[in-house]
Structures are given as structure tokens and as C-alpha cells.
Amino acid sequence: MILIPTHNTEDRFSDYKRFLSLYGLNGELNKLVKAGKISEVNLFFAWVRGDKKYPQK
């Protein structure tokens, strides 16, 4: 699961980190976090911030 914020703010990044902490994980900005395997499928989480030189529409 990759989350890309729709605004230039990380207001919700703390919510993302709290969500991952429920599973004993620590989220970092622009880094993949391996959560484990579910039915032989590797599950990863990431919070990705786009380049600020590309404005939002």
C-alpha cells in the first residue's frame, strides 16, 4: 500500500505512523516498510511525498 498525500503538507503523516505502530512497525517518509507476508504475498507500506516542483492541480 502506497500513500501519496494530495497536499504539500504532512499533517496526516503522524496518523500513518500511528496506524503502522498498531502492527509494531515504524513508518518513515519515502521509505518502504515491510509488514510481512499474507497468503504468500509480501505486504509493504510507504508514505511518499512528491517533488514540490510539480504543483498540485
Domain contains 56: no
Q: What pLDDT, in 10s, does the model give residues 9-20?
A: 667 888 889 999
Q: Is the pLDDT of residue 26 over 90?
A: yes
Q: Is the pLDDT of residue 42 over 60?
A: yes
Q: How many domains does the chain have?
A: 1
Predicted confidence at residue 12, as pLDDT, reads 83
Domain contains 57: no
Domain contains 54: no
Q: Is 8 helix (H, G, I), strand (E, B) or coil?
A: coil
pLDDT band at residue 53 using 50, 70 and 90 as cut-offs:
confident
Domain contains 38: yes
pTM across the whole model: 0.70
Q: Which of 50, 43, 40, 41 is nearest to 20 (CA)?
A: 43
Share of the chain above pLDDT 90, in %: 40
Domain contains 42: yes
Domain hosting 14: range is: 2-47
Domain contains 55: no
Q: Mapped to the 3 state alphabet, what secondary structure does 10-49 carry?
A: CCCHHHHHHHHHCCCCCCCECCCEEEEEECCEEEEEEECC
